[in-house]
A and B are shown apart, each in its own frame.
Chain A
Amino acid sequence: MKTCVDYAEKLALFYDGELSEAEKEEVLRHAEECPECSRLLKAYKMIFEEAESLEIPPPESLHGRIMKAVETEKVRKTFFIKRKTTEKICAAAVILLMLGGVLRNGELLSFFSDNKALSSDTVNFAAGSEGKAGGAGAEAKSIEAVPKDSAQAATLSGSEKGAGVNEDKQVQNIEETQQKPDENTRMKTATGPASRVEGSSPVSESATDGENGASMKFGIAAAKEKTVLCPDKVPFEGEFAFVMVASGSTLTDELSADKEAKSGKAVFYLMKKDEKIVSDTEDALIKQGFEVTYFNDGKDYIDSNSKEFIIEILAE
């Protein structure tokens, strides 16, 4: 004859609805005869009925908080450059692509959330005379961005083209400043686990007014630290694009699953307010043999009220 112990599991699982009719009847028959098991069965019923009420709604802020964290993650991914430790870092350069717009001092450098120390490896960009924002916008006409397995930084130049573009918009060249040999060497041979690119010193120290407009230094650090900080906010006002080039054997850590990243191709980042300029730049880059991937509109991290873009460009 079966004892209470034999019914223990079936009693506990009775309200799961998984027992056969015959099993249920058997359990109920036993419970009718056994006050102890009858009591247990009632307790199980209570658990069954009340457990659902233990489910509580999450705090209202949770959803937004997670989505924000995910967006941060996406932005972080784009700036998270990791170098294979077994390979030399070959080159990293920050290049500004000025496209018919005005760069206000301070805005650019606030791009990076950490404006503290940086190496003296700098890149100058020279803005052309103040072009008028709006209209058809300028377009990157020729872009020479050749990722190399050397410390040579790529140079991009954007120029206007196409009908409807104001004549006073000028070709704007971005030229890398001459790097001192020792700095160059440092970039080449840095043996840290990854590269870090960060903003330069405050604008007041690095920006000068050239005859054609603003001229600002922009800095990159050689491979010292692991991550590249993502911007908290990029208050772009004028029409310009920003391209960060990290060429050579750099890897984006989170994108390492991507075959392109694995192959160590150059990764470019471009941020631009004007959608047309972004698309024009993209066209130009594609013509140059780059694969362009949009992966974040960076809305909370650039300007929630306007459309900026970060473009990942993988060079062939």
Chain B
Amino acid sequence: MTEESQIIKRVQNGDEAAFEELLSAYEKKIYNLAYRESRNVQDAMDITQEVFLRVFRSIKDFRGESSFSTWVYRIATNMCIDFARRAAKNNAVSLTVYDEDGEAADMDIPDDSSTPETYYEKTELRREMERGLRMLSPEHRHIIILRDINGLSYLEIAQILKLEEGTVKSRLARARAKLASFIIQGNNFAPIQSKEKEGRRGF
């Protein structure tokens, strides 16, 4: 029995401290997922709280058929989808725009969560990536968050999204291609090229 499954067992037996361990292990990841989807600190906190309340309520039903991580992410993904649906319903003005491929994406709206200070601390490139992420369709954005920000494997993403691994790869490739294209068109590609000259990392 892994350490995590022991913790889960304890939570299932009503151990609140054990639940806190699970929360500590996953809250940052889930918060980031929620934040990238909602673009708003308050909404992200609300979504994260709802996710963990759902985890708490349902953990007795968790049988370990998937990994706990997959289970939590699936709950979070569903919550984010619900949130997006509710937000779309509540928006009087449609924020969806269509690119040249006819693919739906969200209109670029300023991120109200950044204070001026934190905003200027961000690198140009990071800002460009954030803008690019916002321009992606929800499906593309979600898969990039899961893979590139949360660092999940293809298999884990496949399980969370209930997709074939091949579909995950092709969707991820398409999502990155769109993001890359957005970045190339932006103003921030040059500094990276100069960074390249200083020496490649990795590969």
A residues with a Cβ closer than 8 A to B are 8-9, 12-16, 18, 24, 39-40, 42-59, 61-63, 65-67, 69-71, 73-74, 254, 257, 295
CB distance from A27 to the nearest CB of B (A): 10
- The reply to whether A42 and B176 contact each other, CB–CB distance below 8 Å, is no
- The reply to whether B28 and A12 contact each other, CB–CB distance below 8 Å, is no
Q: Is B32 an interface residue (CB 8 A)?
A: yes
**Inter-chain residue pair count (beta carbon < 8 A):** 127
A27 to B192 Cα, complex, angstroms = 20
Of listed A15, A40, A51, A63, residue having the most chain B CB within 10 A? A51
A71 to B56 Cα, complex, angstroms = 10
- Judged by DSSP, the binding face of B is helix
The interface residues of chain B lying within 8 Å CB-to-CB of A55 are: 28, 32, 149-150
In this complex, how many residues of chain B approach chain A with their Cβ under 8 Å: the count is 55
- Given contacts A13-B169, A71-B16, whether A50 and B125 have CB atoms under 8 Å apart is yes
Q: Mask for B97-140, Cβ within 8 A of A = 1, else 0?
A: 00000000000000000000000000101100110010000000
Q: Mask for B172-201, Cβ within 8 A of A = 1, else 0?
A: 111011011101100001001100100001
A69 to B53 Cα, complex, angstroms = 7
The interface residues of chain B lying within 8 Å CB-to-CB of A58 are: 27-28, 31-32, 44-45, 48
A8 to B181 Cα, complex, angstroms = 12
The interface residues of chain A lying within 8 Å CB-to-CB of B173 are: 8-9, 12-13
A8 to B175 Cα, complex, angstroms = 12
List CB contacts (< 8 Å) of B34-75 with chain A: 35-36, 41, 44-45, 48-49, 52-53, 56-57, 60-61
The interface residues of chain B lying within 8 Å CB-to-CB of A24 are: 203
Which single member of B35, B149, B193, B203 contacts A51 (CB below 8 Å)?
B149
